[in-house]
Structure 1
Amino acid sequence: MRVKSLPADERPRERLLSSGPEALSGTELLAILLRTGDSKRGVMELASHVLEQCGGITGLCRATPNELLSIPGVGRAKAATLLAATELAKRVFGGQERKSTSSWEWRLHEWVSRLSLEGREFVVAIYADDDEAFVGDDRLSYGGVDGAFIDVKYLLRRALRMGASKVVLLHNHPDGALEASDEDMQLTKIISQMMHLVGLEFLGHCIVAQGSYKWVK
């Protein structure tokens, strides 16, 4: 069914303005972003198809440009709109609009939220000064669902160049598991030893999954 064939008060855009965005389904919200359908489907049907192809809203947040462009009916303009919208959502989760004047711990919690939307494994370093105030962070590397590579020497150089004296390391497990692997524990040990050699304090390494985290012991 085409949106124009619906009564005015049942159309997604009008319902959003009258009842608020929380009243709309994911398909309806997506239809507003897409604006139009294609030659075969109305915008609601296209929105439903996009969500089906991506595996839901979480999958949509993880979709790459090429994945979106491969969906029939999603051209460059629609793909760009969806990527921009999902990036805004990630930045809200990640807190990138917040000023970096407090401790490193708030930044850790923001990365925990942000990485909960990622389908690939990322390694992130958070840097702090002597007073444990946040001074910066880095997304060091990313890989597939099975792991990510980290250049430890690069990590040490970045920490020293940023004037940090303390470092926290975290990486996400896209499969949702919070348990550290043998490789995770070995990496923690190696990084701790190397940071000690260059005068940096290693505050710890944590695993992130589904909005939670657990420190590697």
Structure 2
Amino acid sequence: MPSEPAEVPHYHGHRARLRARFREAGGQGMPDYEILEILLSLAIPRRDVKPLAKDLIARFGSFAGVIAAPLDQIEAMDGMGEIAPTALKVVQEAALRLLKADVAKRPVISSWTALLDYCKARLAREAREEVYVLYLDRKNVLMADEVHGKGTVDQAPLYIREVVKRALDHVASAVILVHNHPSGDPSPSRADIEMTKDLAAALKTVGIALHDHLVIGRQGHASFKSLGLL
């Protein structure tokens, strides 16, 4: 006797409708969990991932919160499997590269808002303090950005000699220091202020300017130059 045709899982039609809505409107008007559901369905094709998408949004607050969450916390969620966590981090890296493209090879003064968007996307949701240094040429065009320290929830190491060395390696005319406050409050600490003075003095000895020091937090950002601290 001929075998019965395999029953099509109920979520297949739902996925097709989601994809069609996305193609028609480019995701406009779709809630975060539906965008996440489409992404998860590509990494987990043989299971209904709508409940998982909602669980992730509940845990991390938003689509942006999910893709920016630490990898170990994403992997710890029930049902993630091996492929989906990597897929989420690939989306995060793609978003960062799109934002960086708006500031690369352009004077930072004319692309300041784009630069802030890039720094916020990279650092605002990090659970530990990280220090980045942006290297600028004589026209204040961004040449490179490098991480110079990863630390704890309230401090990260910065080796001034290493920053000066890398600035010379890049033949930079100026640098911008960027770090995050995982607490969310971007207000500079006394240690931030003292370290910035030391770095500015060290760079000045080799003819390189410290253009600004940006502190990034979920509540906003602080600019040392705007605050009159530099």
Question: TM-score, normalised on structure 2?
Answer: 0.78
How many residues matched?
211
Amino acid at match of 2:51: E
1:213 equivalent in structure 2: 221
Name the CA distance, whole Å, in 2 between partners of 1:13 and 1:135: 39
Give a deviation string over 1:12-32, Cα, whole Å, max 9, x none: 223222343112111111111
1:170 match: secondary structure: strand
1:43 partnered with 2:49: yes
Query: Is residue 214–residue 221 contact of structure 2 (8 Å, CA) maintained in 1?
Result: yes
Distance in 1 separating the partners of 2:223 and 2:163? 19
Equivalent position to 1:104, from 99, 108, 121: 108
CA distance in 2 between counterparts of 1:34 and 1:7 reads: 11
Distance 1:206-1:81 versus aligned 2 partners, 3 A rule: closer
C-alpha change, 1:195 and 1:210, in structure 2 (3 Å) is same
**1:215 partner amino acid:** S
**C-alpha distance in 1, partners of 2:166/2:180?**
21
2:29 and 2:156 map into 1 onto residues whose CA distance is 39
Quick check: 1:188 aligned with 2:196? yes
Unmatched runs of 5 consecutive residues or more in structure 2: 1-8
Is the aligned partner of 1:177 residue 2:181? no
Q: TM-score, normalised by structure 1?
A: 0.82
Instruction: Give 1:111-190 correspondences, 5 Å limit.
Output: 111-114=118-121, 115-190=123-198
Match of 2:83 in 1: 77
2:18 counterpart letter in structure 1: P
Give, in whole Å, the separation in 2 of the partners of 1:157 and 1:197: 12
Aligned residue for 1:104, secondary structure, equals coil
CA offsets, 1:46-98, max 9 Å, x none? Answer: 21122223343233122233222221211111122222122222333x32x34
User: Alpha-carbon deviations, 1:120-167, whole Å to 9, x = none?
Assistant: 322111222333333322121222331211111111100001111222
Q: How far off is 1:208 after superposition? A: 2.1
- Change in CA separation of 1:16 and 1:172 when aligned onto 2, cut-off 3 Å: same
| Superimposed CA distance per residue, residues 81-122 of structure 1 (whole angstroms, 9 cap, x where no aligned partner) | 222122222333x32x34733213437434333233433322
Which runs of 5 or more residues in structure 1 are unaligned?
none
CA distance in 2, matches of 1:51, 1:7: 18
Contact kept? 2:177, 2:213, Cα under 8 Å: yes
Question: Alpha carbons of 1:156 and 1:54: their partners in 2 closer, same or farther (altered >3 Å)?
Answer: same
